[in-house]
Amino acid sequence: MGRNIFTFIVASLLMIFFSTVTIFAAEITDVLQLGKSDVDVNFSQEGEDTVMTWTPLPYPCVYTIETFNETTGLVRGEPKYHLLTTDESNSASYVVPRAPIPTFYTISARGFFRELFQTEEIIANPNFPTPPSPVTIYHYPEDAPASLMPFIVWHVVPTAVCYEFELLDAPPEVEGGTEHSKSHHLFSTTQIFTNGYQADLRPFQNHKPLYYRVRALDLDKNPIGEFCKAEKIFLNSSLPMPNCPLINDFDFMSYARLPIYPVYDWIPINSAFKYEVELLDHPPEVENDVKPNPVSLWRQTTLDKSSCYDEYSRPYAGPYYWRVRALDEKDNPIGTWSNSEKFVVEDFTQGVSVAIFGDSISHGGGAVSYSPRSLEYSYATFLDFPVLNLSRSGDTSKTTLERFESDVLPVHPVNLIVSTGENSLRDTSITAEDIISDLTEINRLCLRNKIRPIFLTLTPLNPENILKVFQTPTDPNWFSKMKAVNRFIKRQAYYIDIEPYFYDAEKNLDVNFSIDGIHPDMRGKMLIAEVINQHRYLFKLDR
């Protein structure tokens, strides 16, 4: 027995030795010339996830996948691509991080002894075709049919303000394009302000077959790109119809840090007049029940069809759970609560290196229909260093100042990016001196608490677009107020001048950076981040 065990151990050690030598020789000599070839990469949609797969290497290795976005090209010294995330995989398969922006990837492989391989070409995400068109997420084939009121969901088209849904009784004469079908059109609507829609197909259930397609629209309902390829939809009238909103996390960038003032997003149901959002510090005892939780942390109703802004900051570490339900005009519930959605707040009591403190420009959101939960509309997402976002939408410079003690001091930031005053520019009752006074006090409080304040100059406004989108006028003296405030900011010890990048020929905020005339859209937020990245030397980043 002893001899057998000894023989087995020796044989195993010899096998390990020769395997190691073989792998070492193969890696060092690159006998298979892996470093000189490219991998065959494919993408597939698996439920709500996009999965990237590639040709595996013939011996053990760890793959590193880097995800990038393309920079604006407007800031000297910035590279063409900005790194968003880095992940590893032990197999030749990877679930692509959700991001409603065009993303690009590199794949490298490392063996036991050296790096074996790196893709020579950057790989583009196919969910962003040219010309732009929505890529559907939910499908209803014959073996998995839809109810008579199904949710239709698709990947976000960047900068789309709204979408159009068209229902047909046959494939269109021409796939894609921007025109309705002349012969097969049954119904269409443009009243869709998020990347999903509950379609009421009850009037059309006797039409067989049914097809649908979606296209993105701008503020004036002009098409952005083309209709997606028409998709056949099978129905089963016996299936229950959804009676609660659908949490919208389909393109949510969950790997990026949320601001401390949360916003909750969903895909609405057809018959709702308003919505109620509930926040808990524990999972609900029963999912999809019908009653409010008696120990909820917070509950709010909103007339907004797809978003709700939390008026309170959520700085305390731990998990939170939120859900939403639909109400009628008399506040009676329609159906059940949605599934609950979890988010986790990190423990910031030991301090953070960089925090952002300001109004909606810094809180996030843009292109009219996107809330700060859409992190592609936050410049924090595109910075080269991690930050904590303490900003709050709707703030004036005064209300930002009033939050300093409650929101800034508990997280002990080393550096504080200060960006507030845009809403004050619009208000005729607020003077440039008022804004400067508020910024002076923020500066004083920072220095008293050993925080380095780094001010961003204010960006221009576009009063015509503000009136068009928000139906509110802008102070005619906004430009002189902005110039006075920015002169003050540029006298501070630490500031970053973003103002010059945002003008159009008439000295207003360029519509290419902002649809609504005040909030920079995705490209504008990227631009702000790129300018900040170029001034990284201003920050103390040793924490």
Q: What is the DSSP string of 79-112?
A: -SEEEEEEEEESSSEEEPPP-SS-EEEEEEEE-S
pLDDT score recorded for residue 79? 94
pLDDT score recorded for residue 467? 97
Count Cβ atoms within 10 A of the Cβ of residue 195 and give its class: 0-12 exposed, 13-18 middle, 19 or more buried: buried
At a CB cut-off of 8 Å and minimum separation 6, what does 263 contact?
307, 308, 309, 310, 365, 371, 372, 373
CA–CA gap between residue 177 and residue 7 (Å, rounded)? 72
Q: Buried (b) or exposed (e) across 493-531, using 16+ Cβ within 10 A?
A: ebbbebbebbeeeeebbbeebbbbbbbbbbbbbbbbbbb
Helix axes 478-489, 432-448, angle to 10 degrees: 30
3-state per-residue secondary structure call for 436-483: HHHHHHHHHHHHHCCCEEEEECCCCCCHHHHHHHHCCCCCCCHHHHHH
Residue-by-residue pLDDT tens, the chain, 543 positions: 556 665 655 555 555 554 454 544 444 555 445 554 567 899 998 888 999 999 898 878 899 999 999 999 999 999 999 999 999 999 999 999 999 999 999 999 988 656 878 888 899 999 999 999 999 999 999 999 999 999 999 999 999 999 999 999 999 999 999 999 999 999 999 999 999 999 999 999 998 899 999 999 999 999 999 999 999 999 999 999 999 999 999 999 988 999 999 999 999 999 899 999 999 999 999 999 999 999 999 999 999 999 999 999 998 999 999 999 999 999 999 999 999 999 999 999 899 999 999 999 999 999 999 999 999 999 999 999 999 999 999 999 999 999 999 999 999 999 999 999 999 999 999 999 999 999 999 999 999 999 999 999 999 999 999 999 999 999 999 999 999 999 999 999 999 999 999 999 999 999 999 999 999 999 999 999 999 999 999 999 975
CA torsion, points 485, 490, 492, 498, in degrees to nearest 10? 90
pLDDT score recorded for residue 36? 44
At a CB cut-off of 8 Å and minimum separation 6, what does 293 contact?
278, 280, 284, 285
pLDDT score recorded for residue 542? 74
Q: What's the one-letter identity of residue 194?
A: T
**Is 103:84 a contact under the CB 8 Å cutoff?**
yes
Question: Measured in Å, how far apart are the chain's first and last C-alpha atoms?
Answer: 60
**Is 253:99 a contact under the CB 8 Å cutoff?**
yes
Q: Which of 211, 141, 209, 199 is nearest to 175 (CA)?
A: 211
pLDDT score recorded for residue 5? 64
pLDDT score recorded for residue 26? 47
Q: What's the one-letter identity of residue 422?
A: E
Which residues, in sequence order, are bridge partners of residue 49?
46
Domains and their CATH numbers in the chain? 34-124 (2.60.40.10), 151-242 (no CATH), 247-347 (2.60.40.10), 349-543 (3.40.50.1110)
Residue 25: strand, helix, or coil? helix
At a CB cut-off of 8 Å and minimum separation 6, what does 465 contact?
509, 511, 514, 515, 516, 517
CA–CA gap between residue 29 and residue 476 (Å, rounded)? 71
